[in-house]
Structure formats: structure tokens, C-alpha cells
Amino acid sequence: MLELRPNCEHCDTDLPAAALTARICTFECTFCSDCATAVFGNVCPNCGGELLARPVRPAALVDASSGERVTNEHDLDAHRTRRDERPIDGDHPGVVLRRYVEAWTGGDIDRLLGCYGDDFTLHYAGSSRFAGAHGGRDVAVAVMVEVSALAPRRLISIDDVLASDGGGVVVVTEELQRGDERCELQRVFRYRIAEGLLRECWLYEADQAVVDRFWR
């Protein structure tokens, strides 16, 4: 039976059995969502494994003695080094997407670019001159830079991150600007992921006509 530890082992925040903010690794090391994401980058500082949401056990099945409070001190600098140097070729797409989103929201361009494979291909829909497939990381990144210069974009929120065995989806809300005109819209990025890297991306717009106008 899964051990439901009642606290975050880093900050000691209470995490009762029904807590939706509890995160665990496969060895049941337990952290709150704030520490898991902001402090450890969703990688367990003890085993180096992935930190995921802990399932909620039905109240009738909760044993008051099902977990002991655990607190540990962690060397954060050493953890960041181990996290950044850990092999990524076997990472599940969910880990890859969280790494990518963390770099995106943190403005870490080098780490963001490191998420793309050399063969990365970008697919844009619509009727603008950018529509179509842009193959190769350097080519795809150059196109992203060009459209961002033409219509600067600002990330407002990461709305959802979904993962499967072969890829995943990141749903975001962004603001686009072209001259004095601005628009806020939801965008869906669908990724194919292999060997720990993003290999292909399809971008779906909530309002493609608006984007085509900004990219005219």
C-alpha cells in the first residue's frame, strides 16, 4: 500500500491524505507542489526520479498511522547540478514537457533550446507565409525568432500540460502584439517526443485568422 506521508519533507507543510498539492516519487518521498516545482524542478532530490501528483485515497480507507513525518535538509546547489547533468535519453515525455515548461516560464533560453532535438520540425497552420513545415532545429528556431520579432508574444499563463507515451500537449495563453494592436488568445502546442527531446511540434490556434493577420 502506498505510504501517505503527512508532510513535505523540505518545508514541513502539512499534506493530509486528501491534499491535492502532495507530490511523490516512486520511493514515496513526499513534497508540497511549491517545493517540488520551484525548489526541485519536479525531480526528487533523494533519488533523482520524477515527482508527480500523489493520488487521493478514499477517506474510509485512510489509516492514521499510514505515514510518519519525514524532514530532510537538501543541498540545493548539488541537486541542481545533478538534475542538470542527469541523462535525459530515457525520460518520460511528461518529464521532458515539465523541463521545457520550467525553462519557458523561467526565461532560461539555453535550457529551452536544449529541449529541442537536432531534427526538430515545426509545423505552422494557416495562410501566412510561415505556414508549413520547418525542418531542423536551427531552421525552426530561426522561424520562431522571425515571427516573434514580427508580432512579439508574451506568455500569460500555462493552462495545461498533458503527456502520453510518445508525446504531449502544452496549452498556453499568450498575448500577441503588432504595432498598436494586441490580442490575447489560447494556443495549443502538440509535441512528438523521443529519447528525452522534443522532435516535432504542431501549433493549433484558438483563432487562426487573427494570427494570420498579425503574421501578414
Asked if 189 and 209 touch (Cβ cutoff 8 Å), the reply is no
pLDDT in tens, 86-111: 777 878 898 899 889 989 998 999 98
- What are the structural domains, with CATH classification, of the chain? 22-85 (no CATH), 93-214 (3.10.450.50)
Give the DSSP letter of residue 38.
I
How far is residue 23's CA from residue 153's CA, in Å, rounded to a whole number? 32
Per-residue pLDDT of the chain (216 residues; tens, 9 = 90+): 788 999 999 999 999 989 999 999 999 999 999 999 889 988 899 998 888 889 998 877 777 556 788 999 999 999 988 887 877 787 889 889 988 998 999 899 998 999 999 999 999 999 999 999 999 999 999 999 999 999 999 999 999 999 898 999 999 999 999 999 999 999 999 999 999 999 999 999 999 999 999 999
Residues forming a β-bridge with 122: 134, 201
